[in-house]
Structure 1
Amino acid sequence: MNLHEYQAKELLKKYNVPVQEGIAVETVAAAEEAYRQIKTQTNNKFAVVKAQIHAGGRGKGKVIETGMNGVKVGKSVEDISSYANGILGGTLVTIQTGEAGKKVNKILVAQDVYYEGPNPTKELYLSILLDRSKGQNVIMYSTEGGMDIEEVAHHTPEKIFKELVHPSGGLQPFQARKIAFNFGLTGEAFKNCVKFVTNLYNAYVGLDASMIEINPFFKTSDDKMIAVDCKMNLDDNALMRHADIAALRDVTEEDPTEVEAGQFNLNFVKLDGNVGCMVNGAGLAMATMDMIKLAGGEPANFLDVGGTANAQTVEAGFRIIMKDPNVKAILINIFGGIVRCDRVAAGVIEAYNKLGNINIPIIVRLQGTNAAEAKKLIDESGLKVQSAILLSEAADLVKLAVA
């Protein structure tokens, strides 16, 4: 589950991670009031307006309707009002959103941390995620933080450092000090960085996060270390331990079909192809998509109905797949182990009759317990559903359907 910047920062504060303070608002009037509060608290006339969407690259992104960037710095209530008006309700396109962009429903009015002081400031980069190839958490960091971190990773990968952390041992003090040293920090900034990295790792573990990215990780002119931005992704499988955090989910930022699929406990990911897939089991779903590719088609989705497929889940799967206008055929591939094939076949027939007006080819491949009985049910149903026993047969039928 992805979180907005303002939500992630509130969670980090619970783990004593210093953040750039701000107030999330939904209207221009509220943005103006937030600015006045921040100006009073910080005695600084500068403030930052940030679009709140689940995507990076906001600083370089543009609002389609106004041409305004997704992050703006203002120094008066008039500036804040203008920026809020130009961002709120608009569609922000960034390098991560694609051409469609994302609608901005909230903005964050945040304090300015680029104030003058005795020492130079630094924009750094810091993130924590799981390195699946190593089976360990990894802290990735760089002295080249800011809006161009992707270019740094592409052109100068030697400037990206990695520190592996074994899950059972946790982050060791020497590792936090090593990170601060590689950042080139000294004195008070060094000490503050060690505390920051340690607390951030505790937050990563305590929140069951799968990724936390701080960019920029900022050293202020008075040697404080602050999270100016934060992107956070939490492990969906651990949300049962965090009911309060699960309530932060913003479904308006997610694909509507994926949200609907989740309501039926279906694992669904929308793709760009022309063949809808309905399969039980993630491994079989991946193999099915490979077969579709080999047959000359392109998968339109990943849909795992799980091990308890029935008429209700099949019907829900049908409805979700058919909302995609690019789908030219549907392949249902079920291996009957826990669930009997004839029961699934009955579910397919029932769902087909309920939905009606299905004018695209449907290929059903059922294998396993009672596969022969299932094929007979499909063949004798009188519906425009083609059955197959072998996966190769199903692939050939798909090829003919999308030719």
Structure 2
Amino acid sequence: MIGRSSSRPPTVLFTGFPGFLGSALLREVLERGDGPVACLIQPQYRDLAEKRAREIVSEAEPDSGDEAAVHLYEGDITEPDLGLGSAPGDSDLLAGVEEVYHLAAVYDLSVDADLAAAVNVRGTEHVLDAAERLGVDRLHYVSTCYVSGRYDGTFTADHLREGQSFNNHYEATKYRAEVAVRERMADGLPATIYRPAIAVGDSRTGETDKLDGPYNLLRLLLAQPARLAFAFSIPGAAETELNVVPRDYVVDAVAELSGRPDTVGETYQLCDPDPPTVPEFVAALSDAADRRTVTVPTTKRIAKAAARLLSAASVEVEAATIDYFDHPTRYRCANATAALAETGIEVPAFESYVDRLVAFARENPDLGDEPMT
């Protein structure tokens, strides 16, 4: 246990700690006065989890004196009973849990099908089983806007099973996981679903824990001379929206919505209601990176082949990101906007914080793109 001495057992369970979103959300939950909190962690992340938990507890200012305790339990969502049933007394560890935040997933566009299914689908099913067994008052599930797959049109919080195809195993398994959550909700499980768009670094500091997704384009630009840099342009890119949101918006929105009883049973898309198109995104990133960028028209197949060649030459450009340059789906978030209208929580324009993202990436070039699994 980390934090103040507490005679109370954990009342909140977190998965996905010490991940980037999970760490920030845990801080918000503790500052709200909820807890004590049990964090399910994998053994290989114990040192990082202990470090982040100490930092968070030392900064949190909960309403009551002993609720800042963070309990770290080694387990695994891919195993039945969350991997907590092997040692004497382990079955009682979560007995007092009343609320679950499920963030753990493999966030990787190139993830292997078996790993994605194990973590994103079966892991979510095991968390759902635990929530039902414990009789929790509330489940908070972090999904993704990209359960849409390549849906051709406007995708809202009301959409899910639309016969869509998927860009990759990440999207497909997150879709299957949300279907499982929706089915349990239909059976009576009180839950709220949050679908972030593409999450990037903090809008105030630029901080992130890995350089993936849109950062592939930034790496490509920074690897080229400032006076002339090249980027790919594939058919359809001019009309394609690239929907990114900063970490602080996602965390603030989930923290706000999760603390309200009127949000039970709802699905919220945490996206930019007015996102840039791909050319606008490239232009903003180029300006922040101080690059004069020329876009080279090509086919998707050639662009992906070029990305693989660049990666082989030590310029990490993930070929899977090319699929989002002609992604046909547009995301809208009417109910999230309405629910957050009086809170001051809103999505900042990408152009207003892109310089901070670039500055942080420049200062931390050794950050990788490997997911926490």
TM-score (norm 2): 0.28
TM-score (norm 1): 0.26
Could you say which structure has the higher strand fraction? 1
Report the structure number with the largest CA radius of gyration: 1
